[in-house]
């Protein structure tokens, strides 16, 4: 379980995600969509998001810049089609019908890498791979900042009651295994609230892109991230969504049970009073970008 810093903001707003939720309260239009014919081709032999999922009829993939976070996500390796979502302890979760892909990345062996942490993990992996390591820095929910540069130089966090302090107690270590140690520490003390504060709002639907997030900060809260985008000739966009969840489990791309004819793609609107996703309902929509 994640640790709580007593007396700090983190103590009141710590849980990142809720437990599993199945779709419910479908509108008449959603019911109609449920029985519509799916127009999306899923190439089950392919192992990246962009290769596996064709856009719906009349839409084309939006090309991301090769050095962008969105490009990194779209081309991240997936596990073979049909792979189960498993918890940090290797046990499959009970809900296995609401995802279409599982990211080929470890979850760790502790209940740490939950929903906000999944976004943090992929963001850090992207910055590490593209040699932008100066940008690997994340806040605790309490507001304290710890960068990867400080951690690799030996700085460690010490928490005692209401107090958080940092001291150099280790030798320099810029290895990937030490980066994972750093991220586990961040997962322990970060969450949807800190992630919300580290990102900026997206103000127009036309600006939404792969790598952006949809987030409800709080306790409980949740976050999903856009893992692909396509558009038609009129400029209308559709999006793929992925997430981590509680307890810590495989990062996965979710289906769209509310609109089967375009699933797993989603029609998103930043001004919507609510956004229904496979396992969580966001009220209101809160889209943000790094």
Q: pLDDT value at position 13? A: 35
Rounded to 10 deg, the angle between the 115-129 and 176-189 helix axes is: 150
Looking up tokens 């209101």 gives 284
DSSP per residue over 243-272, as a string?
Answer: E--SSSB--EEEP-TT-TTTTT-B---TT-
Q: pLDDT value at position 28? A: 58
Q: pLDDT value at position 261? A: 95
The answer to whether the predicted template modeling score (pTM) of the entire model surpasses 0.85 is yes
- Of 223, 64, 67, nearest in space to 135 by CA: 67
Q: What is the pLDDT of residues 193-208, one digit of tens each?
A: 999 999 999 999 999 9
- Encode 36-101 in three state secondary structure: CCCCCCECCCCCEHHHHECCCCCCEECCCCCCCHHHHHHCCEECCCCCCCEECCCCECCCCCCEEE
Phi, psi of 113 (to 5 degrees): -80, 80
Looking up tokens 């498993």 gives 86
Q: Are 46 and 76 in contact (CB under 8 A)?
A: no
Tokens standing for residue 205: 């639907």
CA distances from 279 to 3, 22, 81, 85, 245 (A): 25, 6, 20, 13, 9
Q: pLDDT value at position 215? A: 98
The rounded distance, in Å, linking the Cα atoms of 90 and 154 is 32
Q: What is the pLDDT of residues 115-174, one digit of tens each?
A: 999 999 999 999 999 999 999 999 999 999 999 999 999 999 998 877 899 999 999 999
Under-50 pLDDT residues of the chain: 4, 6-16, 19-23, 34-35
């Amino acid at each position: 379980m994640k640790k709580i810093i007593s007396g700090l903001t983190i103590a009141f707003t710590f849980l990142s995600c809720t437990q599993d939720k199945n779709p419910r309260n479908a509108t008449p239009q959603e019911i109609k969509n449920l029985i519509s014919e799916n127009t999306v081709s899923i190439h089950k032999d392919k192992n990246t998001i962009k290769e596996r999922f064709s856009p719906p009829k009349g839409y084309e993939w939006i090309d991301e810049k090769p050095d962008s976070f969105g490009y990194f996500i779209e081309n991240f390796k997936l596990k073979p089609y049909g792979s189960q979502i498993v918890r940090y302890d290797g046990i499959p979760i009970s809900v296995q019908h609401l995802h279409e892909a599982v990211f080929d990345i470890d979850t760790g062996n502790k209940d740490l890498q939950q929903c906000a942490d999944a976004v943090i993990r992929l963001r850090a992996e992207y910055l590490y791979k593209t040699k932008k390591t100066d940008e690997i820095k994340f806040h605790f929910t309490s507001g304290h900042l710890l960068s990867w540069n400080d951690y690799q130089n030996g700085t460690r966090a010490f928490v005692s009651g209401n107090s958080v302090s940092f001291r150099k107690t280790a030798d320099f270590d810029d290895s990937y295994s030490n980066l994972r140690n750093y991220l586990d520490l961040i997962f322990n003390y970060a969450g949807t609230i800190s992630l919300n504060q580290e990102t900026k709002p997206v103000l127009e639907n036309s600006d939404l892109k792969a790598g952006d997030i949809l987030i409800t900060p709080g306790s409980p809260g949740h976050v999903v991230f856009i893992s692909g985008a396509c558009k038609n000739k009129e400029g209308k966009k559709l999006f793929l969504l992925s997430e981590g969840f509680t307890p810590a489990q495989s990062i996965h791309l979710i289906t769209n049970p509310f609109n089967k004819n375009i699933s797993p793609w989603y029609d998103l609107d930043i001004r919507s009073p609510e956004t229904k996703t496979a396992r969580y309902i966001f009220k209101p929509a809160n889209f943000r970008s790094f």
